[in-house]
Amino acid sequence: MAELEDVKEWWNDVTEGPLGWIIYLALGVLLAIVLNAGLSSALSTDYPVVTVESDSMKPVLYPGDIVFVSGSQDYSPGDIIVFDGWKPTPIIHRIVLKSRRTEETFDIQTWEDFDDIRESDMRGYHEDVDVENMYITKGDNNPVCDQCQGTGEIVLDQHIHGKKILRIPYLGWIKLGSLRFAELLTA
């Protein structure tokens, strides 16, 4: 028991003052890396946790929300996905149209009443790119789809990291605040 008390006393001495802040910060970063790696493996994605950065998905997702993401082999209209696009960070928007190439034709599925893109346009995209699935995406709070406003290219399976499985509100403000602070320091 005396040995445990000695360890506690040593730990308290080491973690006191500025050195303690550095040690706890390093432990926090290490814990975040280990948790991210574990979640990546468990959820089959390289981005298991993302922070919503913009208003584009209101009223479903808000800036500062944390979203847990799971990789999948099948994505459908209505799924909220995380994908690589026109921004340096992954984008989280909803699939509003899925176009699937079959041997003889195209199977086009839409979410709700989405009709911003004609079936003939999707056929043209499929003629340009030889892939099985193509997706059109849209932020719920945006007036038109990403591809309609010239912002984004057609989303393909290889661009998608996964789909939303869980949302935790507000927790992401810690990340957003630290990123904005870092931007101020480097500006």
- Say whether the peptide bond before residue 48 is cis (omega within 30 degrees of 0): no
pLDDT at res. 150: 76
Instruction: Report the pLDDT value the prediction gives residue 4, as an integer from 0 to 100.
Output: 87
What is the distance between the alpha carbons of residues 46 and 57, in angstroms, rounded to a whole number? 22
Tell me the pLDDT of the chain (187 aa) as tens digits. Answer: 778 888 888 888 888 888 888 888 888 888 888 988 998 999 999 999 999 999 999 999 999 999 999 999 999 999 999 999 988 889 999 999 999 988 777 888 999 989 888 877 887 777 777 789 999 999 999 999 999 887 778 999 999 999 999 999 998 888 888 877 888 888 7
Selection from 71, 74, 73, 99 nearest residue 83 by Cα:
71
Q: What is the pLDDT of residue 49?
A: 94
For residue 96 the two structure tokens come to 């509003």
Per-residue confidence (pLDDT) for residue 29, from 0 to 100? 85
β-partners of residue 98 are 109, 135
Which helix (H) or strand (E) segment holds residue 68: the answer is strand 66-70
The pLDDT of residue 64 is 94
* pLDDT value of position 47: 93
Which residues, in sequence order, are CB contacts of 45 under 8 Å at separation 6+? 69, 70, 71, 82, 161, 162
* C-alpha of 130 from chain center: 26
Separation CA 67–CA 50 (nearest Å):
5
Per-domain residue ranges of the chain: 2-43, 73-163
Token pair for 24: 């706890």
Closest residue by Cα to residue 77 from 99, 57, 95? 95
